[in-house]
A and B are shown apart, each in its own frame.
Chain A
């Protein structure tokens, strides 16, 4: 037996209506019924949607929380953790600033100025200098000495390179001559480890003349420098002067 669809009454198993549940729209109780995905509630591969407070789970990983792109408001901004699991914005710094760490978080700051390392020496005053003799200059006093390059009690003539400071040095030396004698020449020579380092300066003997020299030297730890002074006036009269306002012997560490 067959039933007429026009006059049929519902029997068990018949569908009397389709209701659109959450995430769907459409439905109905008769005729052709259409159900559509409600893109206001369901993300599809093509629609644009904002997720709020969602946990995205994969088979083995969970991405909980995301970094809001509004955190970076300016070109050059950086994101860091202000505490565990807490992203924060580090605004772009100013030109020339460098990234540093203060109180446990990154920040921008002006680069620190390099610290000077070296020493500058002077002596007691007049020192005898025999004719035609290279005479060692003693340097009894220090203007400054950052790393024990020099001792005022032992081997005062020396500047010695301390541990950890091998490298290039600007070496400078100058003495004055306390004489009106104008005969011959005056000069000074840098010695390294007891022998001439090949760096010297010579100049004509004029009244109260003084000459200085500067040279960059590559020095190893424990190398020591000295200054030898010279005159050939034909007598022992000229003395060289190492007083604080007339002379210096200094090194400036330039780098490894």
Chain B
């Protein structure tokens, strides 16, 4: 499951075609094989449990 799908699963009020950035959710993938991560979280609700802010490994 992709990161954006995990977020929608927790917050079903978000539609897949909504602009996550306009909601304050910034996802990023540096094409380095580590997948997408949450670069910035300004959504009105907290980061879903099990997900973390920033790139895994801190790079």
CB–CB B31/A183 < 8 A = no
Distance (Å) between the CB of B5 and the closest chain A CB? Answer: 8
Our count of residue pairs bridging A and B at CB distance below 8 angstroms stands at 58
Number of interface residues of A (CB under 8 A): 21
Contacts known (A133-B36, A157-B31); A234 close to B3, Cβ less than 8 A: no
Question: Which of A134, A135, A136 is the most central at the interface, judged by chain B CB atoms within 10 Å of its CB?
Answer: A134
CB–CB B20/A132 < 8 A = yes
CB–CB B28/A232 < 8 A = no
CB–CB A235/B16 < 8 A = yes
B contacts with A: majority SS: mixed
Within residues 214 to 256 of chain A, which ones have a CB less than 8 A from any CB in chain B? 228, 232-236
Bound CA–CA A134/B17 (angstroms): 14
CB–CB B19/A134 < 8 A = no
Contacts known (A232-B20, A234-B17); A133 close to B3, Cβ less than 8 A: yes
Distance (Å) between the CB of A222 and the closest chain B CB? Answer: 19
CB–CB B26/A234 < 8 A = no
CB–CB A232/B36 < 8 A = no
Bound CA–CA A136/B20 (angstroms): 17
Number of interface residues of B (CB under 8 A): 20
CB–CB A234/B28 < 8 A = no
Contacts known (A185-B19, A234-B15, A235-B16); A132 close to B31, Cβ less than 8 A: no
Distance (Å) between the CB of B3 and the closest chain A CB? Answer: 7
Bound CA–CA A183/B15 (angstroms): 12
Beyond A232-B18, A235-B16: 7 further Cβ-contacts under 8 Å? Answer: A127-B31, A132-B20, A134-B26, A135-B29, A135-B31, A184-B17, A232-B19
Which 7 A-B pairs have CB atoms at the shortest separation, nearest pair first?
Answer: A234-B16, A234-B17, A132-B20, A133-B27, A136-B31, A135-B29, A134-B28
